[in-house]
Chains A and B, each alone.
Chain A
């Protein structure tokens, strides 16, 4: 089946630094990728929709200058948490649909990235 690779799986950084998380679709093309945030024992919260070749669409309440998204190719989207603070510590997960799979297709999720900001 389709695979979405997310890297790094864990990252610890100091407050004030920026962290980049990569999301790659390994065997399919994804014109759209999604970035979620998940707190312990809570649901997935959609942060933004990443569109290949254009600007990301952010959900209400998500700071676009804080969470920079770049979707430079049909197989790669990146999320950069800028000037990270302890409250940004969370589990970040990306997902993608196979562009050839139709609109009701399943989402393929990455393994997630655990960010800890000290």
Chain B
């Protein structure tokens, strides 16, 4: 069966460090993958898109990698700040360009 796995346990890191979040998937062949940020009680907000033929994508302090062999995407936030604390969701494209979301990982950045 198809699965998208993100670490359900919260990731706690110190301000200034790099946060790395993982998204693993099975039985998918996504043409692209997206990462979203969701704050409590709010709708998700798009952060980055990476296509299957791209290894890495950067946007300011954010970096995403996409390894179609390992079936894994890594999401990095460098020089993390308390304001980066949120839940981060990965989403994979599927048939008809529908997006399926992972369960999300909650990031807590402590000052």
Contacts and interface: CB of A to CB of B under 8 A. Distances in A.
Contacts of A106: 34, 46, 49
Given A104-B31, A104-B93, A46 B43 contact: no
A106 B93 CA distance: 11
Interface residues of A, number: 21
Interface in B36-59: 36, 41-46, 49, 51
B28 interface: no
Contact of A109 (B44, B98, B103): B44
Nearest to B106: A41
| Size category of the binding interface on chain B | 20 to 34
A93 to B, nearest CB: 5
B43 A110 contact: yes
B100 A111 contact: no
Given A43-B102, A43-B103, A44-B89, A107 B97 contact: no
A104 B44 contact: no
A77 interface: no
B92 to A, nearest CB: 12
Interface string B66-109: 00000000000000000000000101010001111111100000
A43 B42 contact: no
Contacts of A108: 46
A44 B101 contact: yes
Contact of B43 (A6, A42, A43): A6
Interface of A: 4, 6, 41-44, 46, 49, 91, 93, 95, 103-104, 106-112, 114
Given A41-B8, A95-B44, A107-B91, 11 more contacts: A6-B43, A42-B103, A43-B103, A46-B100, A49-B98, A104-B32, A104-B93, A104-B97, A109-B43, A111-B43, A112-B42
Q: Sort A-B residue pairs by CB-CB distance and give the 9 closest, nearest first.
A: A109-B43, A106-B46, A43-B103, A44-B101, A103-B97, A112-B43, A43-B101, A109-B44, A93-B43
